[in-house]
């Protein structure tokens, strides 16, 4: 792979940056030659060719890669194991006019999946309700009590979305009472499946669809596509008037926020979903975008960092059903009310997170200070808010570039924890193994994120288990922290035209990283703290060019201290560039990810 040699030369001579990384060129000699070939044979600009070559896009796929379509990338829904059974059961519910309950998860993927399913059912005049469990009191996934309540309220079919693949006891309760359950999920699952009428999960062992990279909302989209096809075959005229493609804004939101790889069908979901999102046809999304201060066309950044956290705030510290309810609304006035409530909850969540992060980071710093810290960082406290531990784990992973868990223990010694991983360590598989060995009360997830329930008395054993099963892998992944640089540009060379070219090869995210450019030997003419711990800066080039940038959550880091105290000093700065829309004016801005003194 381009740029993977152990003897790489440091880009701009940066062997160790202010954040402790070695800068290397993303493209090695073979990659450079591939980029030249793509540019010459496909007639593409050099910068696009370099981006594609650096992300292992085959030369023959380059043109199609720039225009991913649902039609060309979406396989037959029947390729998903049990999809036809799920479609047939949903179609039967429509034909019989049955009441349906949708049981979802409390995160963005669960909220969007639930909303997409209910919008579909509502189109066919079915009575339906969404049930989102309380994160603290019920935990993840279906529970027998909730299943019983849904049946008592008249549900003849229960559809679980973004959950259910390991809910043996709950699905047994539904079967005992004669109610079918259709599971639509993407989380890793054991070989023994729960008792369901249909279980659609591309990560089950007998699924050969190759769609294991989809988020749950993407799987729901596939199931509904199959259901619409079946309804058309049965002559239901209403099937022709449901615009499934118009719902891709929900699928794009889930795909970005669940941090699944932006490859294949996922890229098409996001590209076409962004087009749908920019019409602001979904009243809930429109209200959230306004509350979040989204300027200009909706981008993956807006979905992942502004809109997504507001939806998640309800599930973390408030009413878990707020997000899904908002995304089902067509009335802008109703949507404004819920969006404002989520805005308030998000501010509360930020305050709680800041206090908890200070404690978690202090604990992690002690663990890592010796230079021989654990393979997986595990922080814990009594009384932490269990709805925020996932954010703590994510922050610790970002700061230390290692897998991390944060665990909140209650007064009875029961801990609710969340983990985040780095590419190369499948944390979901690790958690499932810990469940199978009896170390965890329960747990599950996917490669990059997982949730656990653990007894405090077993915490030491869990740490030892992580060390035994992950130390070698993590050591190989973190032996040399490297930042891959796609190229060097000057402040005056960072133009809107350049951004437009780069965006042609997007969208960027997990598995398709945004290009990182180095701005070499520029003078730092301004640097100051803005917002919550961010640094706003201005770089000046020798030719008079200026480039504004922002380093998020950097004020209390070594890099932040150097920048804040380095006005007038010459730096190499690395980051991504994008267009910022402010008061109707489109400007270039760099998101700074690293810096080094220019010597």
Query: What is the rounded average pLDDT for all residues in the chain?
Result: 94
pLDDT band for position 579 (cuts 50, 70, 90): very high
- 2 pLDDT more than 50: no
Element holding 483 (H helix, E strand): strand 482-485
Q: Mean of the pLDDT values across residues 14-40? A: 95
pLDDT in tens, 543-572: 999 999 999 999 989 999 999 999 999 999
Bridge partners of 572?
A: 596
Sheet of strand 377-382: strand arrangement? 377-382, 404-409, 414-420, 449-455, 442-445
CA separation for the pair 252, 188 (Å, rounded): 21
- The pLDDT tens digits for 115-148 are 999 999 999 999 999 999 998 888 889 999 999 9
Give me the mean pLDDT over the 37-43 stretch. Answer: 95
* Ordered domains of the chain (ranges, CATH): 11-28+486-597 (2.40.50.460), 75-344 (3.90.1640.30), 370-478 (3.10.310.30)
* Bridge pairing between strands 517-530 and 570-582: antiparallel
Antiparallel, parallel or unpaired: β 482-485 and 585-597: unpaired
Dist. CA 552–CA 532, nearest whole Å: 9
Measured distance CA(314)–CA(446) in Å, rounded: 22
**pLDDT tens digits for range 500-546:** 999 999 999 988 999 999 999 999 999 999 998 999 999 999 999 99
Confidence (pLDDT) at 479: 59
Q: Token digits for 145?
A: 């009590």
Check whether 370 has a pLDDT greater than 80: no
Q: What is the pTM of this model?
A: 0.91
């Amino acid at each position: 792979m381009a740029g993977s040699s152990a003897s790489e030369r440091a880009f701009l001579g940066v062997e160790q940056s202010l954040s402790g990384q070695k800068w290397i060129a993303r493209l090695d000699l073979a990659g450079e030659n591939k980029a030249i070939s793509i540019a010459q044979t496909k007639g593409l600009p050099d910068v696009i060719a370099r981006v594609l070559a650096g992300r292992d896009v085959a030369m023959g796929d380059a043109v199609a890669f720039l225009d991913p379509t649902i039609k060309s990338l979406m396989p037959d829904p029947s390729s998903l194991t049990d999809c036809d059974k799920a479609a047939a059961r949903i179609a039967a519910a429509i034909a019989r006019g049955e009441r349906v309950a949708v049981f979802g998860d409390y995160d963005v993927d669960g909220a969007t999946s639930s909303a997409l399913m209910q919008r579909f059912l509502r189109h066919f005049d079915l009575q339906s309700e969404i049930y989102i469990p309380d994160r603290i009191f019920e935990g993840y996934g279906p529970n027998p009590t909730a299943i019983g309540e849904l049946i008592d309220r008249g549900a003849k079919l229960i559809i679980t979305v973004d959950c259910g693949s390991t809910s043996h006891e709950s699905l047994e309760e539904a079967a005992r009472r004669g109610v079918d359950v259709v599971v639509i999920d993407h989380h890793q699952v054991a070989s023994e499946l729960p008792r369901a009428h249909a279980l659609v999960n591309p990560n089950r062992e007998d699924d050969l669809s190759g769609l294991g990279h989809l988020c749950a909302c993407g799987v729901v989209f596939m199931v509904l596509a199959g259901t619409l096809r079946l309804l058309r075959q049965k002559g239901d005229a209403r099937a022709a008037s449901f615009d499934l493609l118009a719902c891709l804004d929900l699928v794009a939101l889930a795909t970005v926020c669940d941090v699944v790889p932006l490859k294949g069908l996922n890229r098409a979901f996001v590209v076409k979903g962004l087009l749908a999102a920019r019409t602001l046809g979904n009243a809930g999304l429109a209200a959230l975008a306004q509350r979040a201060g989204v300027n200009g066309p909706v981008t993956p950044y807006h979905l992942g960092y502004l809109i997504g956290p507001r939806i998640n705030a309800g599930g973390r510290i408030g009413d878990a059903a707020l997000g899904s309810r908002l995304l089902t609304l067509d009335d802008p006035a109703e949507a404004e009310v819920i969006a404002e409530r989520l805005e308030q909850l998000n501010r509360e969540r930020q305050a709680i997170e800041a206090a908890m992060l200070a404690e978690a980071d202090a604990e992690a710093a002690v663990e890592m200070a010796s230079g021989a810290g654990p393979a997986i960082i595990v922080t814990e406290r009594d009384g932490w808010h269990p709805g925020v531990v996932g954010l703590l784990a994510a922050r610790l992973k970002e700061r230390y570039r290692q897998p991390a868990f944060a665990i909140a223990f209650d007064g009875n010694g029961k801990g609710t924890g969340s983990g985040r991983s780095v590419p190369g360590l499948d944390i979901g598989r690790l958690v499932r193994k810990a469940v199978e060995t009896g170390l965890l009360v329960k747990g599950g997830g996917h490669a990059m994120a997982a949730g656990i329930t653990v007894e405090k008395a077993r915490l030491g054993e869990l740490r030892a288990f992580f060390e035994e099963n992950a130390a070698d892998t993590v050591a190989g992944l973190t032996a040399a922290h490297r930042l891959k640089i796609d190229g060097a540009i000057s402040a005056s060379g960072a133009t809107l035209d350049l951004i437009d070219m780069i965006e042609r090869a997007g969208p960027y995210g997990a598995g398709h990283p945004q290009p990182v450019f180095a701005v070499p030997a520029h003078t730092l003419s301004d640097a100051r703290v803005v917002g919550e711990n961010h640094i706003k800066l201005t770089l000046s080039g020798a030719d008079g060019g200026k480039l504004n940038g922002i380093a998020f959550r950097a004020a209390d880091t070594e890099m932040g201290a150097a920048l804040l105290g380095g006005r007038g000093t010459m730096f190499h700065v690395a980051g991504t560039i994008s267009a910022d829309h402010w008061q109707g004016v489109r400007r270039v801005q760099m998101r700074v990810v690293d810096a080094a003194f220019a010597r």
